[in-house]
């Protein structure tokens, strides 16, 4: 299957450049882009327009107008649409990523209190475009609308839910206070992961968690079979209220870290870690419980507070044994969300202090949306077929 650029398009480009020189460059580039996108669609479909082919994977479905803001000025292109196969022109995809990065930069500058006039000057240098302060303000408004659509998008069946909280400094009522940033990651029935939502609030811990979970459910979250999270204040009660009966897997990595606070002598730490590793690396729950019983009896005389803590808390880290073996290692901790939080912190620390909750939510949402879209286009995180 071959689909070459139409001679009429080449003739038109040649005529424009010959007659208008550089003044005709914008129109010539528009024609060129339109033709290149048609060729790319033909390759994606496995057939040229009107061609009968056994390799065909879908059908052309018209065009959608789009305005591109370039150094040549605005270009009105016609983006080819498809039916039966996912397709988006690679040339425009690169522009989408650049636009996303620019929006993040605008969000970060806004958080730092940079005036719209200064943002306009910076974006002009970055993009080679004349950007007015009014356009920057409209871009910030458009970004907020886009982020709100992302935060309120419909959800579906999500067997695995991973939750975590971190804190940012926010100015509130003339004081600097800690504001909780809640994040939810979901793994769907296809094994694909995505960031389901984020929330920023000064409310009490349990109320914030409960409202956050309720908002996820209102958007269609259902079918949760396991929640993976650390022991955050108020979370257990919120889970009981909103996800009644769903098993909770407490992060095993943090359980080991928490246990160290109950070890009476530094010289005992290595042995305690080994005991907990024997529990968490057991082949099944029966063996894990046996190893836990051994550890509790081992430390009951030499470290009674540790033994009591192990007996009360470690069972909360054993729910993962009900999962298929291939899922356990990736779902026994919140390490995936910890890595996400590191990236969020890297982007939010430039602000240091947020002027309000809305500005914190804007930047956190922008970063989370960018990361989530990358995850959703990558390969599956888990294989969900039964073993």
Whole-number average pLDDT of the chain: 83
- The DSSP code for 221 is -
- Gap between the Cα atoms of 368 and 345, Å rounded: 11
Residues 106/119, Cβ–Cβ less than 8 Å? yes
The residue to which tokens 């990065």 are assigned = 101
Q: Which residue has the higher pLDDT, 56 or 122?
A: 56
Q: Which residues contact 280 (CB under 8 A, 6 or more apart)?
A: 252, 288, 317, 332
Statement: residue 4 has pLDDT above 60: no
Q: Which of 33-42, 115-124, 159-168 has the highest mean pLDDT?
A: 159-168
Q: How confident is the model at residue 35 (pLDDT cuts 50, 70, 90)?
A: confident
Residues 71/25, Cβ–Cβ less than 8 Å? no
% of the chain at pLDDT higher than 70 = 83
Note if the pTM is more than 0.75: no
Statement: residue 48 has pLDDT above 60: yes
Number of H helices, E strands in the chain: 14, 7
The residue to which tokens 């730490």 are assigned = 269
Give, to the nearest 10 degrees, the angle between helix 285-299 and helix 269-280. 160
Q: How confident is the model at residue 152 (pLDDT cuts 50, 70, 90)?
A: very high
Dihedral sign for Cα atoms in the order 298, 303, 304, 309: negative
Helices (H), 219-351: 235-242, 252-259, 269-280, 285-299, 304-313, 325-331, 335-348
Statement: residue 28 has pLDDT above 70: yes
Beta strands in the chain (DSSP E): 59-70, 73-83, 160-172, 175-187, 193-201, 226-229, 248-250
Q: How confident is the model at residue 162 (pLDDT cuts 50, 70, 90)?
A: very high
Contacts 24+ apart (CB under 8 A), 116-119: 116/140
Statement: residue 96 has pLDDT above 60: no
pLDDT digits (tens, 9 = 90+) for 194-245: 999 999 988 778 999 999 999 999 999 999 999 999 988 889 899 999 999 9
Phi, psi of 241, deg, nearest 5: -80, -40
Give me the pLDDT at residue 158, please: 96
Helix (H) or strand (E) holding 39: helix 25-45
Closest alpha carbon to 197 in 164, 240, 237, 233: 164
Residues 183/367, Cβ–Cβ less than 8 Å? no
Q: Which residues contact 64 (CB under 8 A, 6 or more apart)?
A: 78, 79, 81
Give me the pLDDT at residue 105, please: 61
The residue to which tokens 């990736």 are assigned = 330
The residue to which tokens 């939502």 are assigned = 197
pLDDT digits (tens, 9 = 90+) for 111-139: 555 566 666 666 666 555 555 556 556 66
- Gap between the Cα atoms of 386 and 230, Å rounded: 27
Statement: residue 262 has pLDDT above 90: yes
Out of 19-33, 168-182, 259-273, which region has the weakest mean confidence (pLDDT)?
Answer: 19-33
Give me the pLDDT at residue 232, please: 85
Statement: residue 6 has pLDDT above 70: no
Cα pseudo-dihedral 337, 149, 78, 139, rounded to 10? -90
- Gap between the Cα atoms of 248 and 317, Å rounded: 8
Q: How confident is the model at residue 100 (pLDDT cuts 50, 70, 90)?
A: low
- Gap between the Cα atoms of 317 and 225, Å rounded: 15
Query: Residue 116: helix, strand or coil by DSSP?
Result: helix
Statement: residue 295 has pLDDT above 60: yes
Residues 206/234, Cβ–Cβ less than 8 Å? yes
The domain limits of the chain are 7-88, 94-151, 155-250+355-387, 252-333
Query: Residue 301: helix, strand or coil by DSSP?
Result: coil
Q: What is the mean pLDDT of residues 295-321?
A: 95
Residues 1/47, Cβ–Cβ less than 8 Å? yes
What's the CATH number for 155-250+355-387? 3.30.420
Q: Which residue has the higher pLDDT, 204 or 146?
A: 146
Give me the pLDDT at residue 108, please: 58
Q: What is the mean pLDDT of residues 348-375?
A: 83
């Amino acid at each position: 299957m071959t689909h070459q650029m139409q001679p009429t398009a080449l003739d038109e480009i040649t005529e424009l450049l010959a007659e208008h020189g550089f003044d005709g460059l914008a129109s010539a580039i528009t024609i060129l882009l339109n033709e290149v996108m048609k060729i790319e669609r033909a390759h994606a479909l496995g057939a040229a327009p009107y061609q009968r082919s056994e390799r065909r994977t879908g059908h052309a479905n018209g065009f959608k107008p789009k305005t591109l803001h370039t150094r040549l000025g605005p270009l009105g292109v016609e983006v080819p649409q498809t039916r039966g196969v996912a397709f988006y022109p690679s040339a425009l995809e690169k522009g989408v990523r650049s636009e996303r990065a620019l929006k993040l930069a605008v969000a970060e500058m806004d958080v730092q209190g940079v005036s719209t006039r200064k943002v306009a000057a910076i974006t002009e240098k970055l993009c080679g475009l004349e950007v007015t302060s009014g356009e920057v303000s409209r871009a910030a408004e458009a970004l907020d609308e886009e982020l709100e659509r992302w935060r309120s998008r419909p959800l579906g069946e999500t067997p695995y839910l991973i939750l975590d909280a971190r804190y940012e400094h926010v100015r509130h009522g003339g004081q600097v206070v800690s504001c909780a940033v809640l994040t939810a990651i979901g793994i769907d029935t296809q094994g694909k992961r995505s960031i389901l939502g984020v929330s920023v609030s000064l409310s009490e811990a349990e109320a914030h968690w409960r409202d956050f979970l309720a908002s996820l459910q209102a958007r269609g979250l259902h079918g949760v079979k396991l929640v993976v999270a650390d022991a955050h204040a108020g979370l257990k009660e919120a889970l009981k209220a909103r996800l009644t009966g769903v098993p909770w897997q407490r992060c095993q990595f943090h359980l080991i870290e928490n246990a160290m606070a109950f070890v009476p002598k530094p010289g005992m730490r290595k042995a305690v870690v080994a005991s907990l590793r024997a529990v968490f690396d057991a082949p099944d729950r029966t063996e894990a419980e046996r190893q836990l019983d051994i550890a509790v009896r081992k430390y009951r005389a030499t470290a009674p507070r540790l033994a009591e803590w192990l007996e009360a808390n470690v069972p909360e880290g054993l729910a993962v044994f009900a999962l298929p073996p291939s899922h356990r290692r990736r779902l026994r901790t919140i390490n995936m969300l910890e890595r996400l939080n590191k990236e969020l912190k890297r982007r939010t620390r430039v602000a240091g202090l947020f002027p309000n909750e809305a500005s914190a939510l804007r930047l956190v949402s922008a970063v989370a949306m960018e990361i989530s879209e990358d995850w959703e286009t990558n390969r599956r995180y888990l294989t969900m077929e039964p073993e």
